């Protein structure tokens, strides 16, 4: 290559480097504004914490050796007061010497440092510090989901091309080539050749740098605009915030060797379009490092994002085919999540185009999404790099067709990821079945909770909302007890006499004109309307929802017989409605897989036969992305099947909390937690017949 060509090449490469440096500088400046807002909010949070700490906590830092009586006699009652004072000022207090003042000040500073390390940044509406943070985060989010990719590309261009341009400098002038040493001339020619080989690809990536710079330099949004955007996609804000602020990662209970493998596992994000929370990154790396696992994170923590992150990583390593198996109700949601959160192509193997979509997926690859009941139509193949089974508790019965199909696929695929928020609904044996699909050879200890936990730790990871979503708004639960109206009581008595358990459960709505439950529900909806809040009403029974709909008048209704595409459209329309709206949903239809965080009031018309059913339903609203306090109202009739159900099911709820919630499963007597629906109905009918009919 001649001198002129080399000079032209270096000039183009130099211009590209300048664009990359400009992008990096502008990104750093916008990011610095967000970090400054984070620091301001965190310091305020820490000061609030220290203001609540009694000065006696200083003793904890010094092993009880420090005396605080002199401080308290001088009116110093909190750690914050001590932290704000200098050692010299402390020394002026009666009874505090120079050495003691230094110890007191050091203890207060140590507590402040610990509080700062542990402080979670929580965004509060109508707070000026939170508003500054939301505005700063919006500038980064508005630059697009590809911003991290462009920043990395700019960094690569800068670090790769800068030394090459320096080495190529002599090749840009005949005089420099003549006066350069033989070694420098050789280095220059090699650098020019390398630049020539790299420039086309880098220039293609760099062609987007100017638009990214323009997006970053847009004027900040107003506070109102930023808050409106935060309401719409708050989970994106908190994911970005977690990246900036440094999130504590809850690792669950894992053996040291497993933890070491997970921490050493890389996670490539070239095919991913979403930032991960720290715990989500850990979950994805856990799935990759251990290969065949179950993630039992509580509902609302983004298990699907963890799965997509794992798929994207495998795609970056050259894998081409993936399979997601899920209930029919969430097929559309999975397709949208995959295409929104990654650059992977999703194929819906469901509906009229099933065969054509299957052929296309087999030829071109991507992520096939198939229903649990449709999986048996697909022939297991080792071409699939990872099998993801969502709502995996649906395959807990090994005798069912869906469980057999999943087992066959588990046998053919090397990497398997089960996702479920309820790994155990009725008995511990269900958990054993799920783990058995992953590793039939895994020996589960029966020697108590600790031994059980260790034996399953290599295949099971569980995190709860309170452990990782420190910003999640509170959930307020209220039991709304009412008495039967005369007509409803007559209907209830007749249902008891007929031993008709379903009619007993919905008797409180038998006469809508006089129903006490419906009256209370109407009051709750009217209160939500006055406050501009969205409401979800859950019931197991369609006729109950019909009665509610005729009373409150709403176009938004979900039931199990609605097509998944239509179901998602209804949810989207409900979420997009400004202000107040009411969504009616069968609890088995809306309680699984759908994101309903637009609503902050949840009304449950009757107790459910499985505690997990209600938990899942509530988690549709009280999940990552929720920005408002969630109100949960349970409509209950005194001296009825409602009361009997709550009493009997309390033991099942305690069992789930004890065994599954903490990744601390233990062998238990089946009688302690296993109550079939049929036995439950018969038990309650007999009790109510004795009470009402003698």
CA distance 384 to 382: 5
pLDDT in tens, 449-470: 566 667 777 888 887 655 565 5
Topology of domain 271-467, per CATH? Rossmann fold (3.40.50)
- Is the CB of residue 675 less than 8 Å from the CB of residue 648? yes
| Average pLDDT taken over every residue of the chain | 82
- Is the CB of residue 443 less than 8 Å from the CB of residue 278? no
Q: How many CB atoms lie within 10 A of CB 87?
A: 15
CA atoms within 13 A on the CB side of 81: 15
486: tokens are 């005369």
Looking at per-residue pLDDT, the higher value among 544 and 596 belongs to: 544
pLDDT confidence bin for 417, thresholds 50/70/90: very high
The helix (run of H) or strand (run of E) holding residue 538 is strand 534-539
What is the pLDDT at residue 567? 81
Please, is 372 exposed, middle or buried when counting C-beta atoms within 10 Å of its C-beta (0-12, 13-18, 19+)?
buried
Is pLDDT above 50 for 580?
yes
271: tokens are 């095919």
Report helix, strand or coil for 604: strand
Long-range contacts of 549-557 (CB under 8 A, 24+ apart): 549/584, 550/512, 551/512, 551/518, 551/521, 551/522, 552/521, 552/522, 552/525, 552/582, 554/581, 554/582, 554/583, 554/584, 556/581, 556/582, 556/583, 556/584, 557/583, 557/584, 557/585
pLDDT confidence bin for 88, thresholds 50/70/90: confident
What is the pLDDT at residue 669? 26
CA distance 459 to 417: 10
Residue 639: left if φ>0, alpha if ψ -120 to 50, beta else—which one?
left
Is pLDDT above 90 for 97?
no
The pTM assigned to this predicted structure is 0.55
Strand ranges of the sheet holding 460-461, from the earlier edge strand across to the other edge: 346-348, 366-371, 321-326, 384-390, 416-419, 292-295, 460-461
Report helix, strand or coil for 508: helix
Lowest mean pLDDT among 232-236, 371-375, 411-415: 232-236
Please, is 281 exposed, middle or buried when counting C-beta atoms within 10 Å of its C-beta (0-12, 13-18, 19+)?
buried
Residue 60 CA: distances (Å) to CA of 68, 108, 364, 426? 11, 11, 63, 44
pLDDT in tens, 133-165: 889 989 888 888 788 888 989 999 999 999 999
pLDDT confidence bin for 274, thresholds 50/70/90: confident
* Torsion angle of C-alpha atoms 544, 546, 550, 551, degrees rounded to 10: 20
**31-35, 228-232, 647-651: which has the highest mean pLDDT?**
31-35
Please, is 95 exposed, middle or buried when counting C-beta atoms within 10 Å of its C-beta (0-12, 13-18, 19+)?
exposed
Is pLDDT above 50 for 674?
no
The owner of tokens 């009304």 is 603
- What's the chain's length in residues? 694
* Torsion angle of C-alpha atoms 660, 335, 414, 257, degrees rounded to 10: -50
Report helix, strand or coil for 584: strand
- Is the CB of residue 34 less than 8 Å from the CB of residue 242? no
Lowest mean pLDDT among 261-270, 386-395, 432-441: 432-441
Q: How far is CA 214 from the centre of its chain?
A: 31
Looking at per-residue pLDDT, the higher value among 683 and 607 belongs to: 607
Is pLDDT above 70 for 427?
no
What is the pLDDT at residue 118? 63
pLDDT confidence bin for 654, thresholds 50/70/90: low
Q: What residues pair up with 539 in beta bridges, in sequence order?
A: 586
Average pLDDT on 335-343 reads 88
pLDDT in tens, 288-326: 999 999 998 766 677 889 999 999 999 999 999 999 999
Residue 47 CA: distances (Å) to CA of 111, 119, 385? 11, 10, 50
Looking at per-residue pLDDT, the higher value among 169 and 62 belongs to: 169
Topology of domain 53-118, per CATH? DNA polymerase; domain 1 (1.10.150)
DSSP code per residue over 278-303: HHHHHHHHHHHHHSEEEE-PPTTS-H
Residue 480 CA: distances (Å) to CA of 6, 143, 514, 519, 525? 80, 47, 17, 11, 13
Q: What share of the chain is helix, strand, coil (3-state, %, to 5)?
A: 60, 10, 30
Report helix, strand or coil for 119: coil
295: tokens are 């993630």
Report helix, strand or coil for 610: coil
Average pLDDT on 201-227 reads 87
* Torsion angle of C-alpha atoms 14, 19, 22, 23, degrees rounded to 10: -140
What is the pLDDT at residue 300? 60
- Is the CB of residue 452 less than 8 Å from the CB of residue 473? no
Which CATH number applies to 472-693: 1.10.3430.10, 3.90.1310.10, 3.40.50.300, 3.40.640.10?
3.40.50.300
- Percent of the chain scored above 70 by pLDDT? 85
Is pLDDT above 50 for 198?
yes
Lowest mean pLDDT among 16-20, 80-84, 424-428: 424-428
* Torsion angle of C-alpha atoms 477, 482, 487, 492, degrees rounded to 10: 70
Lowest mean pLDDT among 63-77, 235-249, 377-391, 543-557: 235-249
């Amino acid at each position: 290559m001649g001198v002129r060509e080399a000079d032209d090449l270096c000039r183009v490469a130099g211009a590209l480097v300048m664009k990359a440096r400009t992008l990096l500088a502008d990104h750093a400046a916008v990011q610095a504004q967000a970090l400054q807002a984070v620091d301001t909010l965190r310091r305020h949070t820490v000061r609030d914490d220290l203001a609540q700490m009694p000065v006696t906590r200083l003793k904890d830092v010094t092993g009880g050796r420090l005396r605080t009586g002199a401080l308290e006699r001088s009116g110093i009652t909190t750690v914050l007061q001590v932290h704000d004072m200098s050692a010299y000022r402390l020394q002026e207090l009666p009874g505090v010497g120079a050495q003691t003042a230094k110890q007191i000040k050091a203890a207060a500073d140590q507590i402040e440092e610990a509080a700062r390390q542990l402080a979670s940044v929580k965004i509060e509406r109508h707070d000026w510090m939170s508003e500054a943070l939301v505005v700063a985060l919006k500038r980064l989010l508005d630059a697009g989901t590809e911003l991290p990719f462009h920043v990395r590309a700019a960094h690569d261009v800068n670090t790769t091309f800068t030394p090459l341009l320096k080495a190529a400098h002599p090749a840009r002038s005949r005089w420099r080539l003549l006066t350069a040493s033989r070694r420098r001339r050789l280095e220059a020619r090699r650098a020019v050749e390398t630049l020539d080989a790299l420039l086309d690809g880098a220039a293609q990536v760099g062609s987007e740098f100017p638009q990214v710079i323009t997006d970053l330099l847009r004027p900040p949004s107003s506070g109102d605009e930023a808050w409106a955007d935060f309401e719409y996609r708050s989970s994106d804000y908190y994911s970005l915030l977690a990246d900036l602020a440094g999130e504590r990662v809850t690792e669950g209970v894992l053996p040291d060797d497993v933890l070491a493998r997970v921490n050493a596992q890389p996670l490539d994000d070239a095919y991913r379009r979403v930032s991960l929370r720290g715990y989500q990154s850990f979950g994805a790396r856990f799935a990759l490092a251990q290969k065949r696992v179950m993630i039992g994170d509580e509902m609302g923590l983004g298990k699907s994002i963890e799965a997509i992150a794992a798929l994207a990583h495998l795609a970056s390593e050259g894998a081409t085919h993936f399979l997601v198996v899920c209930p029919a109700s969430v097929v559309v949601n999975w397709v949208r999540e995959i295409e929104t959160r990654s650059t992977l192509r999703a194929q819906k193997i469901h509906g009229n185009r099933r065969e054509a979509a299957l052929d296309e997926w087999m030829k071109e690859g991507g992520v096939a999404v198939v229903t649990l009941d449709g999986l048996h139509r697909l022939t297991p193949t080792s071409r699939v790099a990872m099998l993801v089974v969502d709502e995996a508790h649906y395959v807990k019965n090994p005798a069912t067709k869906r469980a057999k199909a999943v087992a066959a696929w588990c046998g053919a695929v090397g990497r398997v990821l089960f996702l479920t928020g309820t790994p155990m609904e009725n008995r511990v044996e269900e958990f054993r079945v799920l783990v058995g699909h992953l590793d039939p050879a895994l020996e589960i200890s029966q020697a108590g909770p600790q031994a059980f936990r260790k034996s399953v730790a290599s295949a099971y990871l569980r995190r709860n909302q309170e452990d990782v979503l420190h910003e999640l708004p509170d959930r307020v639960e209220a039991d709304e007890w009412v008495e039967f109206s005369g007509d409803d009581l007559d209907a209830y008595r007749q249902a008891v006499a007929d031993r008709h358990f379903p009619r007993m459960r919905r008797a409180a709505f038998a006469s809508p004109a006089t129903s006490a439950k419906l009256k209370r529900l109407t009051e709750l909806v009217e209160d939500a309307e006055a406050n501009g809040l969205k409401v979800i009403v859950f019931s197991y029974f369609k006729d109950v929802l019909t009665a509610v709909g005729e009373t409150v008048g709403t176009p938004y209704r979900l039931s199990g017989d609605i097509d998944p595409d239509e179901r998602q459209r209804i949810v989207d329309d409900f979420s997009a409605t400004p202000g107040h709206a009411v969504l009616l949903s069968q609890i088995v239809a809306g309680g699984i897989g759908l994101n309903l965080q637009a609503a902050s009031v949840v009304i449950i018309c009757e107790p459910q036969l499985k505690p997990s059913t209600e938990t899942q339903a509530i988690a549709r609203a009280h999940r990552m992305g929720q920005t408002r306090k969630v109100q949960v109202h349970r409509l209950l009739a005194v001296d009825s099947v409602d009361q009997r159900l709550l009493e009997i099911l309390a033991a099942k709820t305690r069992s789930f909390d004890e065994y599954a919630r903490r990744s601390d499963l233990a062998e238990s007597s089946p009688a302690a937690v296993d109550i079939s629906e049929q036995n439950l109905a018969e038990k309650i009918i007999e009790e109510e017949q004795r009470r009402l009919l003698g």
